Amino acid sequence: MNELIFKLRELNIGQVKENELLANHTTMKIGGPADLFIEPSSIENIKKTMELIHEYNVEWTAIGRGSNLLVSDKGIAGAVIKLGSGLSEVEVNGTEVKVGAGYSLISLSTQISRKGLSGLEFASGIPGSVGGAVYMNAGAHGSDISKILTKVLVLFEDGNVEWLSNEEMSFSYRTSVLQNKRPGVVIEAVFQLEAGDKDIIFAAMQKNKDYRKETQPWNFPCAGSIFRNPLPNYAGKLIEDAGLKGYSIGGAKISDMHGNFIVNTGNAKAEDVLALIQHVKDTIRDLYNIKIETEVEIIGRK
């Protein structure tokens, strides 16, 4: 690992830190240290980083803005690659938008609306990066990334870079091929939008933002929706009907505003959140004979 760190710094890859607390890089403000934390300053430096990681056979994990993550209190072994400001370029060509994986999804939807482009209104209240949104097919208000994505540039562990089409991403509810079958890092995404009326687009975005403010606890550190909806049921409704809103374990609490959100009340550990997740699963299974699965990605040392 020391030789890898030396080479990364020698090549001026970007930020390279040892034992960086991941609580500083997740919206839930939870997470132990990464053995090695790397935030490359450009696409080219991401490629160099991945080539070196492959050369030294170091396990790796990629993160964006940490909005859909629960990181173990014990941290993450190997290298954590953060896709941040080094991947934040936006290029608009008519109704086509090419954007770096590190760009804020909320900022992108706002910027695009000002140009009179429609298709990203659903994302106006979704925190996180473009890369993370593509990776998990983020969605809300009846739409998702799969509806607008044309293709995505992916960097695979062996250093190969490949454009994958919408079809090749094998999108389904909150999932893509990158989660299981072909692990890789999203570098850039291309979206196909439509020309629309700026006032109508802005009104739709504002409505979505207001709805989130009124129904979701963004004033507390959280990771967004914790559970996938076991359609045709909705996780939040099941949890609320089970009387679990406000239930807490340690510093983790099921939000009083929305049953599908677990908030960090100030001193929560990952183990508190995991215990609360298990309690919810057990309760919903026992009451309704329904199995619910997590939407939040749980990573790190066991």
| pLDDT tens-digit readout, 146-199 | 999 999 999 887 778 899 999 999 998 888 999 878 888 899 999 999 999 999
Tens-digit pLDDT profile for residues 197-231: 999 998 988 888 888 888 888 789 999 899 999 99
* Non-local CB neighbours of 264 within 8 Å, separated by 6+ positions: 28, 29, 30, 220, 221, 222, 251, 252, 273
Nearest Cα to Cα of residue 52 among 87, 15, 102, 10: 10
258 burial type by CB count under 10 A (0-12 exposed, 13-18 middle, 19+ buried) = buried
Say whether pLDDT at 99 is over 80: yes
Question: CA angle 252-22-28, nearest 5°?
Answer: 30
Q: What is the pLDDT at residue 227?
A: 96
Say whether pLDDT at 47 is over 90: no
Domain with CATH 3.90.78.10 in the chain: 217-299
Residue corresponding to tokens 């540039």:
153
Domain with CATH 3.30.465.10 in the chain: 88-214
Beta strand spans in 176-255 (E): 184-192, 194-195, 248-249, 252-254
Tens-digit pLDDT profile for residues 226-259: 999 999 999 999 999 999 999 999 999 999 999 9
| CB neighbours of residue 18 within 10 Å | 12
Q: What is the pLDDT at residue 64?
A: 86
CATH of domain 2-82: 3.30.43.10
Q: What is the pLDDT at residue 78?
A: 96
Residues with catalytic annotation? 174, 225, 295
Q: Give the C-alpha separation, 28 to 302, whole Å.
A: 18
Strand order in the sheet with 60-63: 14-21, 33-40, 76-82, 60-63
How much is the average pLDDT of 16-25? 97
Phi and psi at residue 2, in whole multiples of 5°? -60, -40
Domain with CATH 3.30.43.10 in the chain: 2-82
Prediction pTM value: 0.86
Phi and psi at residue 290, in whole multiples of 5°? -120, 130
CATH of domain 88-214: 3.30.465.10
CATH of domain 217-299: 3.90.78.10
Q: Give the C-alpha separation, 227 to 268, whole Å.
A: 19
Tell me what percent of the residues of the chain surpass a pLDDT of 90.
Answer: 70
**β-sheet bridge partners, residue 17:** 37
Both tokens of 205, joined, read 């975005």
Tens-digit pLDDT profile for residues 60-71: 998 988 888 999
pLDDT bin (cut points 50, 70, 90) of residue 97 is: very high
